Amino acid sequence: MGWNASRKRLAAGVHAPRPSPHSLSLPLSSRLRREHPVTDLPWYTSFAPERGTLPPRAWTAESDAARLPLGGDWAFRLSPAADAADTSFTEPGFDAGAWGTVAVPGHWVLQGKDAEFGRPAYTNVAYPFPVDPPHVPDENPTGDHLRRFDLPDGWPAEGGAVLCFDGVESCARVWLNGTELGWFKGSRLAHEFAVGELLRERDNVLAVRVHQWSSGSYLEDQDQWWLPGIFRDVTLLHRPEGAPGDFFVHASYDHVAGSGELRVDCDVPGRVRVPELGLDLATGESVTVPVEPWSAEVPRLYEGELTAGGERIGLRIGFRSVYVEDGVLKANGRRILFRGVNRHEFHPETGRTLDRETMRADVELMKRHNINAVRTSHYPPHPAFLDLCDSYGLWVIDEGDLETHGFEELGWRGNPVDDERWTPALLDRAARLVERDKNHPSVVLWSLGNECGTGAGLGAMARWIRDRDPSRPVHYEGDRSCPDVDVYSRMYPPHAEVAEIGRREDGGPEHRGELPFLLCEYAHAMGNGPGGLSEYQRLFETYERCQGGFVWEWIDHGLVHPVHGYGYGGDFGEELHDGNFVCDGLLFPDRTPSPGLVEYKKVIEPVRIAPGARPGSALVANLHDVADLSGLAFRWEFLADGRMVGEGPLDVPPVPAGERVEVALPEPPPHPAGAETVWTVRAVLAASTVWAPAGHEVAWGQLPVTPARPPASLGAGVRAVVEGDRIVLGPVVLDARTGTPLCVGGLAVAGFGLDVWRAPTDNDEGAPWQPDTRHGPLWRTLGLHRMRHRTVAVEPDTEGLTVRTRVAPAARDFGLAVTYRWTSDGTAARLAVSVVPEGLWPAPLPRLGVRLGLPAALDRVEWYGGGPGEAYPDTRAAARLGLWKSTVAALQTPYVRPQENGARVDTRRLELTGGDAGLRIEGESAFWFTARRWTHAELDAAGHRPDLKPGDTLWLNLDHALHGIGSHSCGPGVLPEHRLEASSASFALILTPTGR
Ligand code: GAL
pLDDT by residue (tens digit) across 293-334?
A: 999 999 999 999 999 999 999 999 999 999 999 999 999 999
Cα–Cα distance, 249 to 251 (Å, whole number): 6
pLDDT > 60? residue 33: no
Residue 770 — pLDDT band, cuts 50, 70, 90?
A: confident
The percent of residues above 70 in pLDDT, for the chain, comes to 96
Residue 700: DSSP 8-state: E
Query: 23 pLDDT exceeds 60?
Result: no
* Domain 721-993 CATH assignment equals 2.70.98.10: yes
CA dist 275 to 295, 298, 304, 549, Å?
21, 20, 7, 38
CATH class of 337-556+582-602: alpha beta
Residues of the chain with CATH 2.60.40.10: 247-322, 605-706
Residue-level pLDDT at 30: 34
Mean pLDDT, rounded, for 14-25: 33
Q: What percent of the chain has pLDDT over 90?
A: 92
Q: Is 221 in the pocket of ligand 1 (CB under 6 A)?
A: no
Query: Residue 13: its pLDDT value, please?
Result: 29
The pLDDT tens digits of the residues spanning 652-664 come to 999 999 999 999 9
Our mutation pick for probing the ligand 1 site, out of 122, 124, 346, counting the most ligand atoms within 8 A of Cβ, is 124
- Whether residue 776 has pLDDT greater than 60: yes
E-only strand ranges, 563-611 = 565-567, 607-611
Distance (Å, rounded) from C-alpha 786 to C-alpha 953? Answer: 20
Domain 5-239 falls in which CATH fold? Jelly Rolls (2.60.120)
**For residue range 559-587, what is the model confidence (pLDDT) as tens digits?**
999 999 999 999 999 999 999 999 999 99
Q: Which band of pLDDT confidence, cut at 50, 70 and 90, is reported for residue 4? A: very low
Residue whose C-alpha is closest to residue 881's, from 675, 666, 633: 675
> From atom 4 of ligand 1, which residue's Cα is the shortest distance away?
223
* Residue 223 Cα to ligand 1 middle (Å): 6
Q: Which of 843, 820, 851, 821 is nearest to 929 (CA)?
A: 851
pLDDT, residue 15, reads: 30
**Is the confidence at residue 10, as pLDDT, over 60?**
no
Interval between CA 224 and ligand 1 midpoint (Å): 9
The predicted pLDDT at position 769 comes to 84
Taking residue 12's Cβ as centre, other Cβ atoms within 10 Å add up to: 12
Domain boundaries for CATH 2.70.98.10 within the chain: 721-993
Please say if 870 is a catalytic residue: no
Whether 116 is a known active-site residue: answer no
Provide the pLDDT for residue 3.
25
In angstroms, the Cα distances linking 561 to 17, 569, 573, 733, 945 are: 48, 11, 12, 47, 11
Whether residue 26 has pLDDT greater than 50 = no
DSSP string, 492-548: S--HHHHHHHHTT-S---HHHHTS-EEEEEEEE-SSS----HHHHHHHHHH-TTEEE
Q: Is the CB of 399 under 6 A from ligand 1?
A: no
Confidence of residue 39 (pLDDT cuts 50, 70, 90): low
Question: Is the Cβ atom of 124 under 6 angstroms away from ligand 1?
Answer: yes
Contact 80, 457 (CB under 8 A): no
What global pTM score does this model have? 0.95
pLDDT in tens, 416-450: 999 999 999 999 999 999 999 999 999 999 999 99
* pLDDT for 777: 95
State residue 712's pLDDT score: 79
CATH code of domain 247-322: 2.60.40.10
pLDDT above 90 for 238: yes
Q: Which atom of ligand 1 is nearest to the CA of 450?
A: 8
CA torsion 643-646-651-652 (nearest 10°) is -10
Kindly tell me if the per-residue pLDDT of 25 is higher than 50: no
Assess whether the C-beta atom of 584 lies below 6 angstroms from ligand 1.
yes
CATH number corresponding to 605-706: 2.60.40.10
The residue among 252 and 92 whose pLDDT is bigger is 252
418 C-alpha vs ligand 1 centroid, how far in Å?
Answer: 21
Q: Which of 435, 521, 599, 900 is catalytic?
A: 521
Instruction: For the chain, give every residue range classified as CATH 2.60.120.260.
Output: 5-239
User: Does any ligand 1 atom lie closer than 6 A to the CB of residue 625?
Assistant: no
Mean pLDDT estimate for the chain: 94
CA-nearest residue, atom 2 of ligand 1: 223
In short, whether 233's Cβ falls inside 6 Å of ligand 1 is no
969: pLDDT strictly greater than 60? yes
